[in-house]
Structure 1
């Protein structure tokens, strides 16, 4: 598709009005409020939920799909090219937000001394660069084939041998193991959890949020990148990216699993998190590059921190101020 045709397509699609909740752009310095009373009132007011033994984040259909794609993770020109390019945004997003809390004492290794969990790590596309920044990384994924690819790719690199490890398991399995270890030595907690382009593939977001809270230290950070649930995201992420341009493998996304920033924030804040910032992201298939944008109507990045015990749950407030729209 030529640049001119793509520009005309983008102009036409931009006229679509999203029908779902509107995204909210916020900086760490100041937080906006929003009208989401009905959803929030359905949430428990600060009560810690136990993870049911039947609750799982894993969708068997998604596992089967990624099993068939596992040998393509490190093809930078293939179906995961956009994820490779996204590192230009998501690596600094994680690094810079962590450095606002944890001062760097190791030149060239700003994340040294931090333990980070990469949930749904796939072939290790984000795990490896964070490990190169000094973080002690654990990448987990329920797809064993993807974990094998990640292990094989990192094994020849001496800089990653002591920094990166992988485990074929689910987040809830790791959370259960972590709780047992915490009872003994308090070793299984992380300074940060990253889940990049993952939540739109999960079967149960409530379980995801609960387990992230379990494995994080108090004040630990949760980083998420995902896709908003709007008409525009359906048009671009599925129709254009998968069916027309074929820059993403067909069937990768299910629009019904997309989630708006407002919904995601409410879910997180009712499960022990405080959202610090939400920022829009845009992918240009012509240049193959990502950029930050004021609009969260397609892709967005979110940073949240685990609340201290007894912190106020802002998602249960009875009154909300109207939020600005960024569609």
Structure 2
């Protein structure tokens, strides 16, 4: 199995910077930034003329159909995973493919984080990093990241899944001080974090992981916005999901669900799948820069995953939150320093 090769997304897709990126950055840099105020403004914009104008003049997007509820939670998805909450750690059961995916996604996260964070901790390479695992389920990827030394918070709206995750991690003393779980949504966590101190409030995570999650969400706009809200400037966002192609329908639904029964029937809705191009546009409009996209392929015979050049079915994406602009006092100080330097030169 080859190691994932970083692929420049600029060679794959054309980029388009959005003014929303500047708004997110400028708001995040102000001490008076209010999550509640931003949510109200965003809701009014979506309900008012801004939303109507976008619908009239913009190219139709599959994301817009999932952006009316302003919550990431789909009640049907919650009920579906509620019935599976006790099966997360059955490596031969409904989540066998997710267990096998750890062979790819854990190194993908680790290696990309180590390329950004140069500090080395032998045996615990991710020590000192705080990671948020969104839609953690039973903790299938939360635990491996904790064993690599990271401080990981796993969140999921299904309380029984969180109960399963807590119970399983309790048997490993090495994880007691490294991972924690909370039954909540991403937007609820974002609202809670606003009330904390400056050090422990908004923008406190070094990385966010959303693995096999976005294809189950009700509102991707809210998801991307909240990710930007709780992620530190320069922090990483890791997503694995399913492309929206004819192949993904054939293999992800017909073969996987109906023929081979790799996953329970009804697990996926093809209308919720999203292409790398569309996901990149969404993330860039919320202050992210996509660094790499890698194709993934599952072999139902061997039960193993491998990297592939094609993103037609599954893919992994790594994005980085654009760093904030310099603070006003820093800019003023730099300007003052430049003026003094110029005066010295003339004298």
TM-score interval (norm. to shorter): 0.7 to 0.9
Alignment of 1:58-97 (within 5 A): 58-97=73-112
State yes or no: 1:51 paired with 2:39. yes
In the alignment, is the contact (CA less than 8 A) between 1:70 and 1:123 conserved in 2? yes
For 2:13, which of 21, 34, 55 is the aligned residue? Answer: 34
Deviation, 1:186, is 4.3
Deviation, 1:180, is 1.9
In the alignment, is the contact (CA less than 8 A) between 2:243 and 2:276 conserved in 1? yes
- Tell me how far apart the structure 2 counterparts of residues 134 and 85 of structure 1 sit (CA, whole Å): 21
- Tell me how far apart the structure 1 counterparts of residues 325 and 167 of structure 2 sit (CA, whole Å): 44
Change beyond 3 A, Cα 1:88–1:45: closer
Alignment of 1:17-166 (within 5 A): 27=6, 31-32=10-11, 34=13, 44=20, 46-48=22-24, 50-52=38-40, 55-166=70-181
- Tell me how far apart the structure 1 counterparts of residues 252 and 233 of structure 2 sit (CA, whole Å): 35
Change beyond 3 A, Cα 1:184–1:299: closer
Deviation, 1:260, is 0.1
Structure 2 unaligned segments of length 5 or more: list them: 28-37, 44-68, 327-347
CA offsets 1:185-228 (integer angstroms, 9 cap, x no match): 54761000000000000000000000000111110000000000
Change beyond 3 A, Cα 1:29–1:205: closer
Q: Which moved further from structure 2: 132-141 or 173-182?
A: 173-182
For 2:262, which of 247, 250, 253 is the aligned residue? Answer: 247
- Tell me how far apart the structure 2 counterparts of residues 46 and 117 of structure 1 sit (CA, whole Å): 24
State yes or no: 1:230 paired with 2:245. yes
Give the count of matched residue pairs: 284
Change beyond 3 A, Cα 1:228–1:85: same
Deviation, 1:46, is 3.7
Deviation, 1:30, is 6.6
Change beyond 3 A, Cα 1:237–1:28: closer
State yes or no: 1:220 paired with 2:199. no
| Higher helix proportion (structure 1 or 2) | 2
1:208 alignment counterpart: 223
TM superposition score normalised by structure 2: 0.77
- Tell me how far apart the structure 1 counterparts of residues 266 and 174 of structure 2 sit (CA, whole Å): 36
TM superposition score normalised by structure 1: 0.82
- Tell me how far apart the structure 2 counterparts of residues 173 and 88 of structure 1 sit (CA, whole Å): 31
Q: Which moved further from structure 2: 187-196 or 133-142?
A: 187-196
- Tell me how far apart the structure 2 counterparts of residues 29 and 233 of structure 1 sit (CA, whole Å): 23
Change beyond 3 A, Cα 1:60–1:88: same
- Tell me how far apart the structure 2 counterparts of residues 130 and 78 of structure 1 sit (CA, whole Å): 22
Structure 1 unaligned segments of length 5 or more: list them: 1-24, 312-327
Bigger radius of gyration = 2
In the alignment, is the contact (CA less than 8 A) between 2:128 and 2:150 conserved in 1? yes
Deviation, 1:152, is 0.3
- Tell me how far apart the structure 1 counterparts of residues 108 and 199 of structure 2 sit (CA, whole Å): 34
Cα root mean square deviation, aligned: 2.2
